[in-house]
């Protein structure tokens, strides 16, 4: 009798488990592939939080003083709670992105699309270049960025190209530095924040694609990681459209796709927008307005940007937002030219161009050593 009851109980449990499993699968299948991706990345994020928490606890165990061990464990618990909440924010942002993109799944890498005719970057000239992003060798521009405008950004289109997924992608060097006083001689020295090689491709219609990047991130002038790096065709990463030659207002698309590393999205908001606080060097009002975009990434759901572009010049201004509110942090174009010689132009506001170029040459010889 007991044996029979045990069998009936086991059968009931199995049926119940099957019911809930089937229900879970049905619920999962009712979501779009894009929404399922958001949920799967949420689960992965939670697992990472647990791993980090357990690793921190293990390190806490090896502290000498009991007071230090207790404080370490308390801090670990607080970080675990904050990171778990952030995982939820990322899931919500990815789900919202599905709706904005109208996307089922991002299954087609544009670099592999036979309908797209790519051109050799060396064949792109000023008459065929994308009006907002240039792949013409020598094109150089300088930006002011950072919370207090402390960062100098130098973007230089090199003569080099790299073949990715069978497509020639132009190598564009992007260097972020901070000018500091040299304690030894009282002069200016430039400390690296980030040095990136971006890879851009252009098609016959002028659209520019983001093939990937290698990002070197520094702290106190010391290389600490390569976070944000990706390459189309490696570890499931896919290229995206960096910016279209003829944008359509309201359209949104991915500029890059490498889950957990690079998930930026751009939406075209206006073709004749004038920001409330303009770039004094390149005002949108002088040309009747700018292309305005909304740029966001589910990896950092709280931070978004409104960006502005002038046709024929390119990017001129970005206004940072947090939770939809302007923070006052800006990135703005200071000067633009056809070679690194532009760095000596007073409009670039570089205190010591020779020292800067010397530092950039050390950091990225292939791009900045003339």
Domain ranges of the chain: 31-101, 110-368
Q: Please check whether residue 217 is in contact with residue 227, taking contact to mean a CB–CB distance below 8 angstroms.
A: yes
Query: SS3 of 88, please?
Result: helix
pTM here? 0.89
- pLDDT for res 107: 93
Instruction: Tell me how crowded residue 218 is: count the other CB atoms within 10 A of its CB.
Output: 18
- pLDDT for res 116: 98
Read off the tokens for 118.
Answer: 């790519």
- pLDDT for res 7: 42
Dist. CA 175–CA 152, nearest whole Å: 8
Dist. CA 16–CA 22, nearest whole Å: 10
- pLDDT for res 183: 74
- pLDDT for res 122: 97
Quickly tell me which residue has 């779009």 as its tokens: 32
Q: Within the chain, how many helices (H) and strands (E) appear?
A: 5, 16
Buried b (16+ CB within 10 A) or exposed e, 223-258: eeeeebbbbbbeeebbbbbbbbbebeeeebbbbbbb
- pLDDT for res 121: 97
Nearest to 308 by CA among 329, 335, 283, 325: 283
Per-residue pLDDT in tens (0 to 9) along the chain, 370 residues: 444 444 444 444 444 444 444 444 445 568 899 999 999 999 999 999 999 999 999 999 999 999 999 999 999 999 999 999 999 999 999 999 999 999 989 999 999 999 999 999 999 998 899 999 999 999 999 999 998 999 999 999 999 999 999 999 999 999 999 999 887 777 889 999 999 999 999 999 999 999 999 999 999 889 999 999 999 999 999 999 999 999 999 999 999 999 999 999 999 999 999 998 999 999 999 999 999 999 999 999 999 999 999 999 999 999 999 988 999 999 999 999 999 999 999 999 999 999 999 999 999 999 999 7
Any residues with CB less than 8 A from the CB of 304 and at least 6 apart, and which? 294, 295, 296, 320, 321, 322, 324
- pLDDT for res 15: 43
- pLDDT for res 12: 45
């Amino acid at each position: 009798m007991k044996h029979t009851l045990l069998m009936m109980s086991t059968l009931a449990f199995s049926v119940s488990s099957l019911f809930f499993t089937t229900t879970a699968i049905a619920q999962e299948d009712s979501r779009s592939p894009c929404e399922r991706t958001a949920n799967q990345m949420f689960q992965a994020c939670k697992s990472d939080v647990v791993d980090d928490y357990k690793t921190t606890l293990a390190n806490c165990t090896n502290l000498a003083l009991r007071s230090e061990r207790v404080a370490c464990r308390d801090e670990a618990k607080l970080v675990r709670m904050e990171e778990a909440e952030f995982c939820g924010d990322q899931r919500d942002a990815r789900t919202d992105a599905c709706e904005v993109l109208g996307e089922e799944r991002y299954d087609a890498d544009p670099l592999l699309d036979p309908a797209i005719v790519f051109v050799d970057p060396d064949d792109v000239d000023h008459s065929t270049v994308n009006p907002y992003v240039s792949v013409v060798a020598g094109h150089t521009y300088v930006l002011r960025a950072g919370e207090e405008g402390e960062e100098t950004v130098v973007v230089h289109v090199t003569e080099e190209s790299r073949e990715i997924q069978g497509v020639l992608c132009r190598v564009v060097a992007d260097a972020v530095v901070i000018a500091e006083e040299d304690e030894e001689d009282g002069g200016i020295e430039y400390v690296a924040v980030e040095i990136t090689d971006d890879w851009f491709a252009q098609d016959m219609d002028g659209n520019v694609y983001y093939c990937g990047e290698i990002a070197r991130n520094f702290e106190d002038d010391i290389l600490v990681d390569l976070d944000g790096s990706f390459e189309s065709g490696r570890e499931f990463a896919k290229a995206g459209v960096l910016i279209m030659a003829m944008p359509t207002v309201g359209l949104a698309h991915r500029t890059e796709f490498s889950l957990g590393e690079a998930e930026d999205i751009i939406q075209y908001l206006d073709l004749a927008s004038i920001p409330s606080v303009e770039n004094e060097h390149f005002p949108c009002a002088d040309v009747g307005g700018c292309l305005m975009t909304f740029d966001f990434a589910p990896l950092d759901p709280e931070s978004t940007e409104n960006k502005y572009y002038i046709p024929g010049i390119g990017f001129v201004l970005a206004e940072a937002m947090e939770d939809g509110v302007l923070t006052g942090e800006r990135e703005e174009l200071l000067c633009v030219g056809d070679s690194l010689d532009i760095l000596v132009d007073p409009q670039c506001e570089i205190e010591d161009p020779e020292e800067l170029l010397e530092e950039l040459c050390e950091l990225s010889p292939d791009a900045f050593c003339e």
